[in-house]
Amino acid sequence: MTLHNIKLTVNGLPVEAAVDDRLTLADFLRHQLNLTGTHIGCEHGVCGACTILVDNVSARSCLMLAVQTDGLAVRTVEGLQATDGTLHPLQAAFRDNHGLQCGYCTPGMLMTLVEFLGENPQPSAADVREAISGNLCRCTGYQRIVESALDAAKRLNEQEP
Amino acid sequence: MKPPPFAYHSATSIPEAIQLLSKLENAKLLAGGQSLMAMLNLRYLHPENLVDINRIPELSGITIDQGRLRIGAMTRQQAIKASAEVKAAAPIFAETLAYVGHRQTRNRGTIGGSLCHLDPAAELPALALLHDAMVTVAGPRGERKIEMAAFIVDYMTTAVQADELVTLIEFPLWRAGHGYGFAEFARRHGDFAIAAVACLMESDSEGRMTRVAISVAGVAATAIRLTAAEAALIGKVAGPEAFAAAAACCADIAAVGDVHGSAEYRKKVAAVMLRRALTDAQSRMAKNG
Ligand code: FES
Ligand code: FES
């Protein structure tokens, strides 16, 4: 086992760390940085719970090694809310529309939808369903998640000047 | 689970990657990681060394020249799907890539990784076979080019040696205005295909098909070309009658069944997918009367 020194940014803040060869990005975030908002469901790329953004595009953090993020910018669910604690419009929409029950899938849903709504400001319900097709939810039946995403799109559009 | 222990190495050039592969014992290349990392986490594989090729810029990029679409092995699937250039020259790519995993996996997953993993249900090997793509492989003995039909050796087995890496995939482009179709059936969006069919088509002014290519994924042990169906279509007028005759050829595929679908079922689904793909291809052919 070798330790590799890496420098990256996590939610905009610089991070320096020494990581083991085989440490996944998901475990690095959770165990070394104590950012436990990123959840781990399957650890083999199927459930989407561990979805985060790497250099602004979504990725499954269980399928990346921590050492691979040297020099990159990582964004997790903890980076969504404003510094004063105001929820991101997507988070607020999930809260108001009952878009979560146990909340296990929610961080992955949110990070997937942040990217998706950034590119598709006026999605249809079918578009949203396709966008979250790589995220499993065992509670909601997805209906409320789709409604939350559509409501979030509306809120984000209103927010734009 | 967590991956088994290995030593991580990052190569920053093609020669460095080849050198690492030659000198390290039991080494595996890490491309996009969307299959390899899952296999490591499931402990299907126990490599002693991983050689990461994500920091080799010359392995990524898309160019079109002299009727060939050239895609670097480490080009992300999402980059190919989003490329306006590719969409204009070979629209089947964007249509097919929508079925490749999910957005989160396409952002990382690469075309070269998909070809080398060679999952029988994967769409990209079927697209490469459909186009008679040429794969460039680099190794300690220099560079060599392998036709896609020879690149595919057997179930999840390619002609790439342990000390070689794929650098480039070249797709000969079809005439502007060619018809194209891709149809896939899977239990859920983004799942592995039960059966998927890709086809390209050209016809003369009377609507008689002059050139047809058909490939099938998810049914046999590897992606295959359906040469019997192609031959059955040439010279026929594109339409339901000819397509039904072509679809009948699916009965002869050496299909492999598993828990998600028996061999018989997969062949039946393939026939339906083939009819749909051919119908789409016909409707999309430019009317060159
Ligand atoms: S934990 Fe990463 S996809 Fe399930
Ligand atoms: S809210 Fe429980 S898994 Fe989605």
Residue after which a domain boundary falls, among B172, B191, B219: B172
What range defines the domain where residue B194 resides? 180-288
Residue whose C-alpha is closest to residue B79's, from B112, B116, B37, B55 = B112
Establish if B2 belongs to a structural domain.
no
Nearest CA in chain A to B79: A57
Q: How far apart are CA B160 and CA B21, in angstroms?
A: 12
Q: Are residues B127 and B80 in the same domain?
A: yes
Q: What is the percent of chain B with per-residue pLDDT over 70, rounded to a whole number? A: 99
Say yes or no for a CB contact (<8 Å) between A48 and B41: no
Residue after which a domain boundary falls, among B144, B172, B200: B172
As a whole number, mean pLDDT of residues B226-246 equals 97
Residue A161, pLDDT above cutoff 70: no
A3-79 and A89-159 have identical folds:
no
The CATH number of the domain holding residue B91 is: 3.30.465.10
Q: Which atom of ligand 1 is nearest to the CA of A42?
A: 4
Residue after which a domain boundary falls, among B150, B172, B194: B172
Say yes or no for a CB contact (<8 Å) between A134 and B3: no
Check: CB of residue B115 under 8 Å from CB of residue B151.
Answer: yes
Say yes or no for a CB contact (<8 Å) between A2 and B54: no
CATH number (3.40.190.10, 3.50.50.60, 3.65.10.10, 3.10.20.30) of A3-79 reads 3.10.20.30
Radius of gyration, CA atoms only, chain A: 16
Q: Are residues B184 and B204 in the same domain?
A: yes
Establish if B18 belongs to a structural domain.
yes
Establish if B57 belongs to a structural domain.
no
As a whole number, mean pLDDT of residues B94-106 equals 96
Q: Are residues B191 and B253 in the same domain?
A: yes
Q: How far apart are CA B14 and CA B143, in angstroms?
A: 11
For B248, other C-beta atoms within 10 Å of its C-beta total 14
Q: Are residues B167 and B188 in the same domain?
A: no
pLDDT of residue A63: 98
Fold of the domain spanning A89-159: DNA polymerase; domain 1 (1.10.150)
For A131, other C-beta atoms within 10 Å of its C-beta total 24
Q: How far apart are CA A92 and CA B142, in angstroms?
A: 57
pLDDT of residue B287: 64
Establish if B1 belongs to a structural domain.
no
Question: What is the total count of domains within chain B?
Answer: 3
Residue with tokens 């799907």: B81
B70 — phi, psi (to 5°)? -110, 120
pLDDT tens digits, residue range B195-223?
999 999 999 999 999 999 999 999 999 99
Give A21's contacts in chain B (Cβ within 8 Å): 5-8, 50
Instruction: Name the residue among A63, A67, A115 with its Cβ closest to that of B34.
Output: A63
pLDDT of residue B289: 41
Question: Which positions ≥6 away from B143 have C-beta within 8 Å?
Answer: B136, B137, B167
Q: Are residues B136 and B83 in the same domain?
A: yes
Q: How far apart are CA A68 and CA B32, in angstroms?
A: 11
As a whole number, mean pLDDT of residues A86-113 equals 98
Q: How far apart are CA B282 and CA A11, in angstroms?
A: 49
Say yes or no for a CB contact (<8 Å) between A134 and B190: yes
Q: In Å, how far is A124's CA from the nearest CA of chain B?
A: 17
pLDDT of residue B189: 85
Check: CB of residue B233 under 8 Å from CB of residue B242.
Answer: yes
Q: Are residues B136 and B157 in the same domain?
A: yes
Nearest CA in chain B to A40: B1
pLDDT tens digits, residue range B150-190?
999 999 999 999 999 999 999 999 999 999 999 999 988 88
The CATH number of the domain holding residue B265 is: 3.30.390.50
ipTM of this complex: 0.95
Q: Are residues B155 and B67 in the same domain?
A: yes
Q: How far apart are CA A128 and CA A135, in angstroms?
A: 11
For chain A, the structural domain boundaries read 3-79, 89-159
